[in-house]
Chains A and B, each alone.
Chain A
Amino acid sequence: MLEGLAPPEPASNVRAFDTPNDAGGSITVTWSPSSAEAERRPVTYEILRSSSLDPALVSVGSVVAGTTAFEDASVYDGVEYSYVVRVHDGLTADADPTAPVRSSGQLFHRGRVNVLVGVVLFTAFLVLFIQQAKGGKELYVRRIAGLEAVDEAIGRATEMGKPILYVPGLSVIQDVATIASLNILSRVARKAAEYETRIVIPNRNPVVMPVCQEIVREAYTDMGHPDAYREDDIYYVTFSQFGYVAAVDGIMLRDRPATNFFLGMFWAESLILAETGAGIGAIQIAGTDAVAQLPFFIAACDYTLIGEELYAASAYLSREPLQLGSLKGQDLAKLLIATLIIVGMIFTTFGWPRFVGLFAAG
């Protein structure tokens, strides 16, 4: 049936190389398409390999027309491999074998150089401003209404003789938002201890729970009221997301806390918690870095810490020069990023997109 048909043109520019930025065990083969593709013939590319261990050609995979790369993840590091790309369109044509190549794991991810430069630069900004703060330089930090209201909110609970409810988010301990929340809890607990006000912390994550207990216990001890600390007020509820929400809503409706703190990572439950709190008339301070949940907190809470304000809270509340210095470092980094965005817009507009490519994630 295929008599009279010419075999397809083989793939050209076939290259095999160690797959970059990986842990080893992988070789990438690339090629330029056969001219049969341009003639709209049904083409597939079969990749065959031979090795220093087995010189016979073995098929390792095939890809359809339009594909010009194949990653062979079934190789051993240190063994030499050579590849042949075979074009099929009814008939076959082999390209020349590639030069032998070995795979190995890399010691540095070159695609992440931009991240490394950014982190080093940002850390340098932080250290610079922290040094300035150490030297006694006065640093201005803008007013954050949600944090200004923390003392007032705790005072209100004290005056009303009602507890404070603190929800440290629903995420795991290694989530930076949870850590930021725990840093704020430390400040809130000290103030609550000073006023001898109960602080109730239901936990969704069992690893976060003992950390909360330790933070609050230390705060009460430091403030000279170790006897006022009640471990039973900081407890584990359930890992179930909406089971936890049901429990916290129940606590709000039964105990009627005067003040609610929702600080950390939240998902779909944010509005259910905040609206229940609004329903009982509690003063509510929320904060999260979950962009999708911010509108819900803004609608239902008295004060909301938006994104970075959650991370700035500990520094803002402590007023320690070292901590404030880090905030100024963040500001400088933001200025740099804003400048780079504007420069990137100009470069892209004038047809130089490679500048923006420098910042692509590896």
Chain B
Amino acid sequence: MRRQVPLAICFFLGVTMAIQYFIPHRVSLVYGETIRTWYLIVFTFALVLGTGSLIRVHWARIRRRASGWWYSLIAMGGLVLTLAVGFFGGIGQEGLFMKLYNYVQVPLEGTMFSLLAFYIASAAYRAFRARTLEATLLLLAAGIVMLGRVPIGQSIWAGFPRITEWILEVPNLAAKRGIMIGVGLGMISTAVKIILGIERSWIGGGD
């Protein structure tokens, strides 16, 4: 029963949502919209569960004085501060809550994102070492594409932008489309297997 009920719900919702895609009638749209609204409700409750899990994990670390426990203390401090500011000061554009968001969270996220530049350089160094024929071709293609994308490339040779366009729109696009066709079929296959109950790993316990 513990498995049959989720499988039955999954089958019913999977089939009806698939049918819904082919019916543009208002009743069908309302049904699809209702299901999506349910997800938002589930998400909201799950957020409470998630926050509970976050507090439990960090509190345990602080209590045990586990390695790096002060990071947990900072995380908990940030959580309590943000909640308190939001509850008592409101979340208006001019309030402290939005100032915390705009002047603390956004710059921190921007900093993390900017690390990507350094990681791209280190990953490119590893990927472009011309050890094999494939890596050499990759290096050549990448060099041409990089030169074709910046003004100095055109100054060196006017053909770089044209070759770049060809690389991006012919071999690169062909490979991307090949992958995307496989992905599309894989998605449908996974969906059909889950709807028919052939794939049950998602309810736990493997088979």
Asked whether, in the complex, the Cβ of B186 is within 8 Å of the Cβ of A308, the reply is yes
Asked whether, in the complex, the Cβ of A179 is within 8 Å of the Cβ of B127, the reply is no
Asked whether, in the complex, the Cβ of B188 is within 8 Å of the Cβ of A300, the reply is no
Stretch at the interface among A32-40, A61-69, A290-298: A290-298
Known contacts A174-B39, A219-B205; A24 and B188 CB within 8 A of each other = no
**Bound CA–CA A274/B127 (angstroms):** 13
Asked whether, in the complex, the Cβ of B192 is within 8 Å of the Cβ of A235, the reply is no
Asked whether any CB of chain B lies closer than 8 Å to the CB of A307, the reply is: yes
Which residue of chain B lies nearest to A112 when distances are taken between CB atoms in the complex?
A: B22
Asked whether, in the complex, the Cβ of B204 is within 8 Å of the Cβ of A218, the reply is yes
Q: What per-residue 1/0 map shows which CB atoms of B32-53 lie under 8 Å from chain A?
A: 0000000100110011011101
Stretch at the interface among B86-94, B113-121, B151-159, B162-170: B113-121
Number of A-B residue pairs having CB atoms within 8 Å of each other in the complex: 215
Asked whether, in the complex, the Cβ of B127 is within 8 Å of the Cβ of A314, the reply is no
Asked whether, in the complex, the Cβ of A215 is within 8 Å of the Cβ of B186, the reply is no
Interface size on B, residues (CB 8 A): 66
Asked whether, in the complex, the Cβ of A329 is within 8 Å of the Cβ of B189, the reply is yes
Asked whether any CB of chain A lies closer than 8 Å to the CB of B23, the reply is: yes
**Bound CA–CA A310/B190 (angstroms):** 10
Asked whether any CB of chain B lies closer than 8 Å to the CB of A22, the reply is: yes
Which residues of the partner chain B approach A105 to less than 8 Å between Cβ atoms? Answer: 24-27
Known contacts A23-B26, A176-B191, A242-B113; A235 and B205 CB within 8 A of each other = no
Which residues of the partner chain B approach A211 to less than 8 Å between Cβ atoms? Answer: 202
Asked whether, in the complex, the Cβ of B189 is within 8 Å of the Cβ of A236, the reply is no
**Bound CA–CA A148/B160 (angstroms):** 41
**Bound CA–CA A237/B55 (angstroms):** 10
Which residues of the partner chain A approach B190 to less than 8 Å between Cβ atoms? Answer: 176, 179-180, 183, 311, 314
Stretch at the interface among A7-15, A49-57, A330-338: A330-338
Asked whether, in the complex, the Cβ of B21 is within 8 Å of the Cβ of A186, the reply is no
Least CB distance, B163 to chain A, in whole angstroms: 19
Q: What per-residue 1/0 map shows which CB atoms of B99-140 lie under 8 Å from chain A?
A: 000000100111011011001101110110000000000000
Which residues of the partner chain A approach B123 to less than 8 Å between Cβ atoms? Answer: 271, 274-275, 296, 299-300
Asked whether any CB of chain A lies closer than 8 Å to the CB of B4, the reply is: no
Which residues of the partner chain B approach A326 to less than 8 Å between Cβ atoms? Answer: 189, 192-193, 198
Asked whether, in the complex, the Cβ of A207 is within 8 Å of the Cβ of B46, the reply is yes
Which residues of the partner chain B approach A182 to less than 8 Å between Cβ atoms? Answer: 201-202
**Bound CA–CA A68/B54 (angstroms):** 58
Q: What per-residue 1/0 map shows which CB atoms of B177-192 lie under 8 Å from chain A?
A: 0011111011111111
- With A179-B194, A318-B207 known, 6 other A-B pairs at CB within 8 A are A105-B27, A217-B204, A254-B67, A300-B126, A307-B182, A314-B201
4 nearest A-B residue pairs (beta carbon): A311-B186, A218-B204, A236-B50, A206-B50
Contacts from B to A (Cβ < 8 Å): 18, 21-29, 39, 42-43, 46-47, 49-51, 53-54, 56-57, 60, 67-68, 71, 105, 108-110, 112-113, 115-116, 119-120, 122-124, 126-127, 176, 179-183, 185-194, 198-199, 201-207
